[in-house]
Amino acid sequence: MFKRLPDDRADPVEIEFEGECLQARAGDTVAAAVLAASPGHTRTTPVSGAPRLPYCLMGTCFECLMEIDGVPNRQACLTVVQAGMRVRRQHGKRAVDA
């Protein structure tokens, strides 16, 4: 769906997405890296379980909520990739500790 512009200057960064290695570029947001790799949806809705993808990419719509390094409800479009980052889809709403 998305194609990257050629950029030989960007350093490659490896992150883990759903247990698989995903190649990103330094400076990518998590949302951009996931969209560029096209591995499918990034979260499911709490009510129907419908798959969703990042939409606005500027912190407004909250369609990009993901679990990043074990922390749920993080906006992937506002989070820059770091080597070794562990990213998972968010299924429904996050659990709230009692």
Q: Which stretch binds ligand FES (CB under 6 A): 4-12, 33-41, 48-56, 87-95?
A: 48-56
Among 77, 81, 85, 87, binds ligand FES (CB under 6 A): 77
Quote the CA–CA distance of 34 and 17 in Å, as a whole number.
Answer: 8
**Does residue 62 belong to the site contacting ligand FES (CB under 6 A)?**
yes
Contact 53, 61 (CB under 8 A): no
**Does residue 61 belong to the site contacting ligand FES (CB under 6 A)?**
yes
Helices and strands per DSSP (H, E), number in the chain: 1, 7
Q: For 70, list phi and psi in degrees, rounded to 5.
A: 80, 0
Q: Which stretch binds ligand FES (CB under 6 A): 1-9, 20-28, 33-41, 61-69?
A: 61-69
Give me the least distance between CB of 97 and ligand FES, in Å please: 24
Structure tokens at 75: 């906006």
| 6 CB-near residues (< 8 Å, 6+ apart) | none
Q: Which residue ranges make up the site for ligand FES (CB under 6 A)? A: 31, 54-57, 59-64, 75, 77
